[in-house]
Amino acid sequence: MAADKDQPTSTTTGQDIPYSSPASDAHSPNGARGMLRFLGLVLLGAVIGGLAALAAVGFVSAVIWLNDLLLISPRGRMMFAHPEALALATVAVPALGGLVVGQLHRVIRERRPHTPADLIAAVQTRRGRLPPRAGLLSALSGLVSLGSGASVGQYGPLVHMGASLGSLAARLLRMGRSDDNVTIACGVAAAIATAFHAPLAGIVFAHEVVLRHYALRAFAPVAAAAIVGHVIATNVLSQGALFHVTDTAVPRPWEFAAFIVIGGLGALVAGGYMHAILAVGRWAAKLPVVPSLRPAIAGAALGLVALWVPDILGMGQETLRFATIQGAFSSLDLVIVLVLKLAATAMCIGMGFGGGVFSPALVIGTLFGALCGTLVTQLGMAGETFIFYAVCGMVAVTAPVIGAPLTTLLIVFELTGSYVLTTAALASVTLASPIAAQLFGRSLFDIQLARRGLDLSAGRGRALLQNARLKSLVSQECVILNPNDSVQEAVTRVGEGGHGEAYLVDDRQRYRGSVTLADLEVMRGKGQGHRRVRSCQRTPRPVLSPEASVWDAMHHVQDVTGEAIAVVDDKAGDAFLGVVYESSIARAYLKYSEELRREEHGTG
Amino acid sequence: MVQAERQAGASWLNKACRLLLVALIGISPLAPGDEPAAAPGEATLDILTWGGAYERAQRRALFEPFTRETGIEVRVHRYNGGLTELRQAIDAGRMPWDLIDMSRSEAKTACADNLLEALSSDILSPSPQGRPAERDFIDGALNRCSITHSVFATVVAYRRDAFPGQRPTEISDLFDQKNFPGPRALHRGPAVNLEWALLSYGVPEEEIYRLLSTRRGLSLAFKRLDNLDNLHWWEAGDTPVQLLAEKKVVMASGFNGRFFDAMVNRDLPIEILWDGQVQEHEVWTVPRGAEQPQQAREFIGFATSAERQTAFAELIPYGPSRRSATLQVANHPDTGVDMRLHIPTHPLNAEHALTKDDEWYARSHERINDYFEDALLEEDSASQSP
């Protein structure tokens, strides 16, 4: 961009060049057609936003209906007259729900529900193309899990559902991978905008968590989707927002210090929460139980504990609300419910229920904040500002878990309309996000992806190259010599092939090293032309496995001075598969960089 | 689910039997309220309804015009709500009433327990503009056994002279005896009190019943109510007005219509706090085994016409259940007061209104009542009746 601008000015010699000329030059490749295409993308974003919002509304309504019907929601439970049957249902419903979920997961290829982590991976590696079948099954799994009272969140399934719809639209319209990424982001933004009644949070979430870069090209369609989602939500979804705060107390200056400390401690709670989920997952894998039955066990255990502490059932919206009311919980209650909710969520998700991690994080965070608020009040220091502590705890735990400090702040702002409260939340998140990122990772999604082999910690460029396989770059155009050939013969063949090096492959197709034309010439010059090639000095060269990524290849190029690197399958007894030329590695690198550059900095 | 409801019904009947002993002593004051018997042989309609200003307005706007038009006399019986008497009458096999004016929540329970006749919307006339009744009535007005005739609100009223400085503006002020000192009067029952108690913690209207469904929500609400000093529990709808008039309390809950009557017709220095008003539907029902179900239906058709609803709402500020009638309401015929401003459903008054969740009460009333009595009434049963 800077170079573009510099050029015309440097060539100016007294002649006035209109200011707009560099800009119009830059846009000339697109022109009017490009703009129409861009507007089409924005329109498509709005359509996807509408579809994702309607899907979200349907999902949320279905969960509420199921919860009332299956005696999970407090309202349904209160309206049911028989305590014994109610107790039975409390255990049986989550257990049966787990059974259904387990069966659903058996028909997904990965044997697990797809989550936001999967769509982040698809976008970050520019794979796109979320599988619609797995998307549908995952949404169904989320619906059954939430409907039967599992302690999981609804925003994960909603986000994934929106993303799948977006990706499906891109596929049906035969659009490219960059556009696929944008439509995925549109679905995500609309789902968040609808579920939280928070369009700004939806837009920022799509950028902060999914796209991880800011491009005008993506912003406009994503914003359109979020607006449509918001409009639909305010007109159709009568269910109230996540939380309302009417209090307008103003915290005293020193309390901001307390909010920052809560942020730091909240990061540790968030870390505990994420690692509990991962630990239960590892532990469950060792259980001598068929994977499809594990959710049922978790459901039954959840139900048994819920007989004692019903707060842990379901998403916990009531618990969240109570945690913002001073005096609703004693300190001991807060600790008990916090620990049990954390354990219940880790168990449900770790043992294979479908659903998100966001809503439980909201509940756990708010309970944690309420605990801090209660302690400060007991010290006689806080008065009217209890709600601030609850909200600070909420953002301190939630932001690290989903890796989205800005989104969490915007959710607070859009749901409360309170600037003071948002400022307090900002104080809390200031410390929470960096501490959690240093200690645990950018988000639970990133940790999960890293464990699946996709490291996003060094950014998208590296992830993309690490995920790009070498296979397409492998070439057979090289000189292959048998170790038993004579040097004389080898020199002729290498020379005729126009190459500077050759690869030794024996009768059993095993790779035996490489030789350079220079070394062969030296031997011939010494009068050793009749000797076998295998006695020639081998250049020590690294080899690449067929599974290696472009990123690995780039690393080897630094140490290699030759023209190509051999690709050898060490799993198949060092079978020689071909070579990868350094120039093609460089070309691939440039191609991927250029694609990223266009996606992240292009406007149309 | 159906079985569950039947079982619920059975346990309710058991409960009713238990209550019967209590009721035998409790209801006898009803008798003096009954009208003198009409001349034998003449067709009469026995209507069970609420007393006071409400009954006076009904007589003038509905009963007397009905008699003039049809020649059917109306005999009025009064009660304080509840289904005990209805169950008793059905058990006894003799139904003394043809029509009962009840709250929609009780009608839903009674309908589920098969205590009421089914009502069809065919008996209703279209609006004066010719709009069919189904579209003229407000949402939720037409049910299987009941037809909403008006919407009333339970509100808090306070004596103006008790708060010469700052006046109460929010429902939480009801529980704030530090800034708004003085004795309070509340209805002896869980409904509305629990809602207000939870609203006073800043819980938004749409979450009230969800939170009241939890043990935690109930205990929070009970805590608020329990913390009130010098609290009178009232039962008959006229008592709170009386308590306010006699300066025995400075704030009382009550039906908006009665407070209006006291303000406008009796010049009591009271003011209504509309914040947190709890709206309810008041419905006509025909009890099972009524002697004249046909005339009863005829009466419902007559009394819910837009003209009669308007006439009723101009006498006592109950919001009409017909959209067409709400638009026609004008000034009080005697006092000239603009009645639109006193109707609970008026946008000025309804900003923070809560609609009572009938479904919730119909299905959980017994349990909520038990919790309420255990939590609040047992300890001070000695001081309960003023």
Domain containing residue A511: CATH number: 3.10.580.10
CA distances from A413 to A349, A386, A432, B145, B228 (A): 29, 17, 18, 46, 36
Residues of B in contact with A329 (CB under 8 A): 216
- Mutation to test the B interface, candidates A78, A313, A341, most B Cβ within 10 Å: A78
What's the CA gap between B318 and B283, in Å, rounded? Answer: 12
In sequence order, the 6+-apart residues with CB closer than 8 A to the CB of A164 are A119, A130, A131, A132, A135, A136, A139, A187
Structure tokens at B65: 């015009």
What's the CA gap between A153 and B175, in Å, rounded? Answer: 36
DSSP B102: E
What's the CA gap between B261 and A257, in Å, rounded? Answer: 56
- The whole-number pLDDT of residue A22 equals 39
Q: Does B201 touch chain A (CB under 8 A)?
A: yes
Nearest-CB residue to B216 (from A240, A245, A322): A322
How does residue B28 score in pLDDT terms, banded at 50, 70 and 90?
very low
**Structural domain span for residue A163:** 33-236
Residue of B nearest to A64 (CA): B210
Instruction: Answer whether residue B36 shows pLDDT above 70.
Output: no
Domain boundary among A431, A460, A489: A460
- The whole-number pLDDT of residue B380 equals 53
- Mutation to test the B interface, candidates A325, A384, A416, A418, most B Cβ within 10 Å: A325
CB pair distance less than 8 Å for A247 and B202 = yes
CB pair distance less than 8 Å for B204 and A327 = no
Q: Which residue has the higher pLDDT, B48 or A382?
A: B48
- The whole-number pLDDT of residue B10 equals 42
In sequence order, the 6+-apart residues with CB closer than 8 A to the CB of A591 are none
* Mean pLDDT, range B282-304, rounded to an integer: 94
Residue whose C-alpha is closest to residue A358's, from A198, A184, A166, A180: A198
Alpha-carbon distance A365 to nearest alpha carbon in chain B (angstroms): 19
| Domain CATH for A229 | 1.10.3080.10
Residue whose C-alpha is closest to residue A377's, from A388, A366, A361: A388
In sequence order, the 6+-apart residues with CB closer than 8 A to the CB of A18 are none
| Domains in chain B with CATH codes | 2-151+281-345 (3.40.190.10), 152-279+355-383 (3.40.190.10)
Nearest-CB residue to A79 (from B11, B206, B360): B360
Which B-chain residues 204-243 have CB contacts (< 8 A) with chain A?
A: 204, 206-207, 209-217, 220, 223
Say how far residue A537 (Cα) sits from the centre of its chain: 49
**Domain count along chain A:** 3
What's the CA gap between B77 and B35, in Å, rounded? Answer: 7
Same domain flag for A455 and A491: no
Instruction: Answer whether residue B374 shows pLDDT above 60.
Output: yes
- Mutation to test the A interface, candidates B211, B218, B365, B372, most A Cβ within 10 Å: B211
HSE-CB for B254 with a 13 A CA cutoff: 33
Same domain flag for A317 and A288: yes
Residue of A nearest to B357 (CA): A75
What's the CA gap between A364 and A492, in Å, rounded? Answer: 74
Helix boundaries (H) for chain B: 2-26, 52-58, 64-70, 84-92, 104-112, 133-136, 193-199, 208-212, 215-226, 239-245, 256-264, 293-303, 306-315, 323-328, 358-372
Same domain flag for A232 and A258: no
Same domain flag for A541 and A514: yes
HSE-CB for B145 with a 13 A CA cutoff: 23
Residues of A in contact with B209 (CB under 8 A): 75
Residues of B in contact with A318 (CB under 8 A): 207, 210-211, 213-214, 216-217
Same domain flag for A331 and A190: no
Return the number of other C-beta atoms located less than 10 Å from residue B246's C-beta.
Answer: 9
Question: Where do we find the tokens 């009531």?
Answer: A318
What residue type is A602 in one-letter code? G
CB pair distance less than 8 Å for A310 and B214 = yes
Structure tokens at A275: 């690692």
Same domain flag for A98 and A146: yes
Q: Assess contact for A511 and A545: CB atoms under 8 A.
A: no
**Does the predicted interface ipTM exceed a cut of 0.90?**
no
CB pair distance less than 8 Å for A240 and B201 = no
Same domain flag for A453 and A502: no
Same domain flag for A199 and A264: no
Q: Is residue A246 part of a domain?
A: no
CB pair distance less than 8 Å for B204 and A240 = yes
Question: How are beta strands B147-159 and B270-285 bridged, if at all?
Answer: antiparallel
Q: Give the 3-state secondary structure of residue B32.
A: helix
Domain boundary among A432, A460, A488: A460
Same domain flag for A474 and A451: no
Same domain flag for A222 and A260: no
Residues of A in contact with B201 (CB under 8 A): 325, 328
Q: Is residue A447 part of a domain?
A: yes
**DSSP for A281-328, written as a single string:** HHHHHTSSS-GGGHHHHHHHHHHHHHHH-GGGSSS-HHHHHHHTSTTS
Q: Does B6 touch chain A (CB under 8 A)?
A: no
Q: Where are the beta strands (DSSP E) in B256-293?
A: 270-285
CB pair distance less than 8 Å for B216 and A75 = no
Alpha-carbon distance A219 to nearest alpha carbon in chain B (angstroms): 34
The tens digit of pLDDT for each residue in B66-75 reads 999 999 999 9
What secondary structure, in 3-state letters, does A404-456 show? CHHHHHHHHHHHHCCHHHHHHHHHHHHHHHHHHHHHCCCCHHHHHHHHCCCCC
Would you state the torsion angle of the CA atoms of residues A45, A46, A47, A48, taken in this order, to the nearest 10 degrees?
50
How does residue B182 score in pLDDT terms, banded at 50, 70 and 90?
very high
Q: Assess contact for A79 and B363: CB atoms under 8 A.
A: yes
CB pair distance less than 8 Å for B11 and A81 = yes
What's the CA gap between B260 and B275, in Å, rounded? Answer: 16
Domain boundary among A433, A460, A487: A460
Q: Is residue A241 part of a domain?
A: no
Q: Is residue A200 part of a domain?
A: yes
CB pair distance less than 8 Å for B4 and A246 = no
> How many residues are present in chain A?
604
What's the CA gap between A18 and A20, in Å, rounded? Answer: 5
Q: Euclidean distance between the first and final Cα of chain A, in Å?
A: 15
Q: Is residue A451 part of a domain?
A: yes
Same domain flag for A177 and A60: yes
Instruction: Answer whether residue B357 shows pLDDT above 50.
Output: yes
- The whole-number pLDDT of residue A45 equals 95
- Mutation to test the B interface, candidates A63, A64, A67, A75, most B Cβ within 10 Å: A75
What's the CA gap between B46 and B85, in Å, rounded? Answer: 15
Same domain flag for A275 and A195: no
- The whole-number pLDDT of residue A6 equals 39
Question: Where do we find the tokens 């939630």?
Answer: A398
Which B-chain residues 335-364 have CB contacts (< 8 A) with chain A?
A: 359-360, 363-364
CB pair distance less than 8 Å for B360 and A75 = yes
Q: Assess contact for A202 and A186: CB atoms under 8 A.
A: no
CB pair distance less than 8 Å for B213 and A247 = no
CB pair distance less than 8 Å for B364 and A74 = no
Question: Where do we find the tokens 């509840």?
Answer: B82
Return the percent helix, strand and coil in chain A, to nearest 5: 70, 5, 25
CB pair distance less than 8 Å for A322 and B367 = no
- The whole-number pLDDT of residue B35 equals 43
What's the CA gap between A579 and A599, in Å, rounded? Answer: 31
Question: Where do we find the tokens 């989320």?
Answer: A142
- The whole-number pLDDT of residue A497 equals 82
Q: Is residue A566 part of a domain?
A: yes
- The whole-number pLDDT of residue B39 equals 43
Residues of A in contact with B204 (CB under 8 A): 240, 244, 246
Q: Which neighbouring-strand residues pair with A576?
A: A568
Q: Is residue A24 part of a domain?
A: no
Q: Tell me which residues of chain A have a C-beta less than 8 Å from any C-beta of chain B.
A: 73-75, 77-82, 85, 239-240, 244-247, 310-311, 317-318, 321-322, 325, 327-329
Structure tokens at A152: 């999981």
* Regions in chain A scoring below 50 on pLDDT: 1-28, 604
Q: Which residue has the higher pLDDT, B311 or A8?
A: B311
Q: Is residue A582 part of a domain?
A: yes
How does residue B216 score in pLDDT terms, banded at 50, 70 and 90?
very high
Residue of A nearest to B8 (CA): A81
Would you state the torsion angle of the CA atoms of residues B90, B91, B95, B101, taken in this order, to the nearest 10 degrees?
-40
CB pair distance less than 8 Å for B216 and A79 = no
What residue type is A507 in one-letter code? D
In sequence order, the 6+-apart residues with CB closer than 8 A to the CB of B178 are none
What's the CA gap between A481 and A487, in Å, rounded? Answer: 10
Q: Assess contact for B319 and B313: CB atoms under 8 A.
A: yes
